[in-house]
Amino acid sequence: MNESIINIGMYVTYGLLIIAALTAIAFSIIHMFDNIRKAIPTLIGIGVLALIVVFSYAISSAEPYENATPAVSQWVGGGITATMILVGLCIISAFFTEIYKYFR
């Protein structure tokens, strides 16, 4: 009997979590279209991120690892490559920000 109550609670929690996530996404999109000029830098950032992911996926190898298909292996390799590119960009950005602050 206790397990069925826990299962119902879990399903209700999943449903409310999905509703909350969809509501947050919907209101963000609505607000973005209300202030399209302020959203342009965000859209550019999303576009650059998408380009990094596509580039990383394109250059990654489809050589299968253990218990993984070639498609999964290529996605994993692309994710690792994208992470390394983003970490490198963060380090470069932090370096140039500190240099800019020093000379300002």
Record the pTM: 0.71
> 8-25, pLDDT tens digit by residue?
989 999 999 999 999 999
* pLDDT tens sequence across 48-86: 999 999 999 999 988 888 888 999 999 999 999 999 999
User: Would you call 73 exposed, middle or buried from its count of C-beta atoms within 10 A (0-12, 13-18, 19+)?
Assistant: middle
